[in-house]
Each structure stands twice: as C-alpha cells, then as structure tokens.
Structure 1
Amino acid sequence: MSAQHEKLRMMLTAALFAAIIGIFAQITIPLPLVPITGQTLAIGLAATILGSRYGALSALLYMLIGAVGLPVFSGMSGGMGIIFGPTGGYIISFILSAFFIGWYIEKTKPAVFHAFIANIIGMIINLAFGTVWLKIFAQLGWAEAFAAGFAPFIIGGIIKALLASWIGIQVRKRLTSARLLPQSVRNHTA
C-alpha cells in the first residue's frame, strides 16, 4: 500500500476514534463540578493503539467537533462555552495526554506494562492540567480545585489506565498482524 493510502487510512481511523471518544463521553457519573466520564478511557485506547501522532489527532478532532457545537462532550453538550468553561482544561489536555501516551509506548515497547505506565502518566497530565484550569475558571482555591478536579478521579483513572493498556495492546497486536497499522507504528510493536 502506498504511503499516501496509508496516511489517509490512518487519518480516517483517527476520525473514527474521535467519534469513539464522543460516544464514551456519554458514559457519565455526575459529580458537582466535573463528571466522571469514559472519555479518558477512549483517549488511552486511541493513543495506545494509534501512537502519538494519530492518537493526538483523534483527541484534537474530538475537541474541534465539540467546539463547533456538535454534542460530543459529556452530557451531550458542545460549543466553545464548554472549552472555555471550568471543564475545558480536561478536554484540551486530552491532546497532550494522547500524544504523551503514544510517544512513551513508541519509545519503550508496546507491552501492557509500558502502556499502563504511559496511561497513568497521561492521566496525571490530564488531571493536573484540568485541575489548574478548573481553579482558574471556577475561581476556586487550590484545595477546593484538587478536591473537585483531581482526587475523585484517581481510582477510576487507574482502572481506566489498566483497561486502556490491556485492551489497547491486544487490539494493537491484532491490527499489526493484519498489517492495518502504518509501518511507523508497526515498527514499534513487539
């Protein structure tokens, strides 16, 4: 397959993962300021399977689709008001988190252990960035922001990191054996 076809296929796959992130965003457990959602699981899966470049692209597409008003954010919401609201930092940080997760796996070895470490660090990036954003936009103190935007998500984040790592590596191996990932991603697969 030509490099151009491979690139197009991966761009379409990134768009598919942007849709998957939007679907997982609707899995919600409401909390007072920031709900628990399936978005971070989907981000971890995208980055673990697609790598840094296309994982981050899927997160960027998800953010842009929601920013223009399509209801892909949690609670079937969308629009720039969400991006520039108290929870917008979490959404923006998905891009950084996905890039880091994919990059870490590319630099180490695509195994569940390395994927888990990458997803845990990705979770910390997401929670830290989101909490700082929440503090600023909701005008909270540091203790309040940590209590509302970081602490409630640690245990769920660890579980989601484990799921994203295990499922993501299994899917990545299968896509690699079927030669459905580009050579650049396949070269980083055990």
Structure 2
Amino acid sequence: MGKTSLKMMILSALFCAIIAVCAQISITFLPPVPFTMQNFAVALTVVILGRRYGTLAILLYILVGAIGVPVFAKFNAGLPVLVGPTGGYLIGYIVSAFVMGTMIDRGKLTFMKAFIVNIVGLAIIHVAGVIQLKLVGSMTWDKAIGIDITFILPDLIKIILASYIGIQVRRRLALAGLLPNSLNNEKIVA
C-alpha cells in the first residue's frame, strides 16, 4: 500500500467520524425522521474525497453503525435501523456517494458543479428515504412524501454550505499534498 492510499484511507476514516458526529446533531420535530447534519456531512465528504474515498467513508459509516456502534442519529445502531422506516436515507447515502463522486471526479470542480452534484445526491437520498418510509413505516405515499418535503429547504441550505466549504477544504488539502493527483487543486475553480 502506497503513502497516498494510506493517507486517503485515513481521510476516509476521519470523514466517517465526521458523519457520525454530524448525525448526533439531531432534532426530531416530525417523527420518525430526525433532522440531522448527516446530509451536510455526506455532501462535504464526497466533494472533498471524490468517488472512491468518499464512497469508502460512507460505506465505513454504514458498516460501523450496522455492527452496533451507535453512530446513527440519536446514538442508534444496528441492522434494525437500516431496515427500519428511516433506513432508506442511510442506504441512499451509499448510492448518492457513488453517483456524486463519479460526477465530481470528472472535469473541473466549481462551486456550481459541486452544488448541482449535491442536488443530484440529495434527490437520491430523499427518493430512497421516501420509498422505505412508505414501505416499512406503513405510510401512504402522501404521508411519506409530506414528511420528507419538510426537510428539503434545510437540506438545500446544508448542501450550499457543503459545496462551498468542500471546495475550500479540498483546495487546502491538495495544496498540503494530502490528496492524490487525481483530486488535485488544478481541477478546482473558485
């Protein structure tokens, strides 16, 4: 294993931890879905780390939670969370990270590109979440969509912040030599 791979695996583990911390910033005002900062952390992770290591960080987060470490919202853990009413959002993180990362890794990275990519990722997360809310939560489509819609505006604000902060952090990590050439600063346009 090369130095670059080791650095990127360490960064992936660090971002897994950041997602876990952001999951604990949680308010439940419309059960069963809590309002958390996970979507912010997922978007930030992928903008900074790209497809390979961003997806790795998300997979690691889901795996750690699945085996029982209380990293999900409200310090929850285990497979019951993944197959429960809100598990679709967590599963959506994996798919969205891969899709978003693929888009991020192609061509120059601008704020607008990061924002559009994060909108695509957010759509994937919300669709997966609504489907599982409906099917597992024994809700009508109207109720599942109604619960989900209340999170759209806050999530848009989160991805605006994640797009801006992600580009800035990625630029600084690249300048410090902590990102591989495939994620270097030359691909980032302010």
2:74 is matched with: 75
Q: Which runs of 5+ in 1 are unaligned?
A: none
2:54 is matched with: 55
Pick aligned residue for 2:182 from 181, 184, 189? 184
Q: Encode CA deviations 1:156-182: one digit per residue, 9 max, x unaligned.
A: 111011000000000011111112101
User: What is the identity percentage for the equivalent residue pairs of Structure 1 and Structure 2?
Assistant: 45
| Alignment length (residue pairs) | 187
Q: Which runs of 5+ in 2 are unaligned?
A: none
State how far apart, in whole Å, the 2-side matches of 1:113 and 1:25 are: 26
1:12 is matched with: 10
1:165 is matched with: 163
2:172 is matched with: 174
RMSD over aligned Cα, in angstroms?
A: 1.2
Pick aligned residue for 2:26 from 6, 28, 37? 28
Letter in 1 for 2:152: I
Q: Encode CA deviations 1:64-95: one digit per residue, 9 max, x unaligned.
A: 00001111000011111101111111111111
State how far apart, in whole Å, the 1-side matches of 2:107 and 2:140 are: 38
When normalised by structure 2's length, the TM-score is 0.94
Q: Encode CA deviations 1:27-59: one digit per residue, 9 max, x unaligned.
A: 112021111111110000100000011111101
1:127 is matched with: 126
When normalised by structure 1's length, the TM-score is 0.94
Give the 4+ runs in structure 1 shifted more than 6 A: none
Deviation at 1:108, TM superposition (A): 3.7
State how far apart, in whole Å, the 1-side matches of 2:132 and 2:6 are: 34
State how far apart, in whole Å, the 2-side matches of 1:51 and 1:138 are: 33
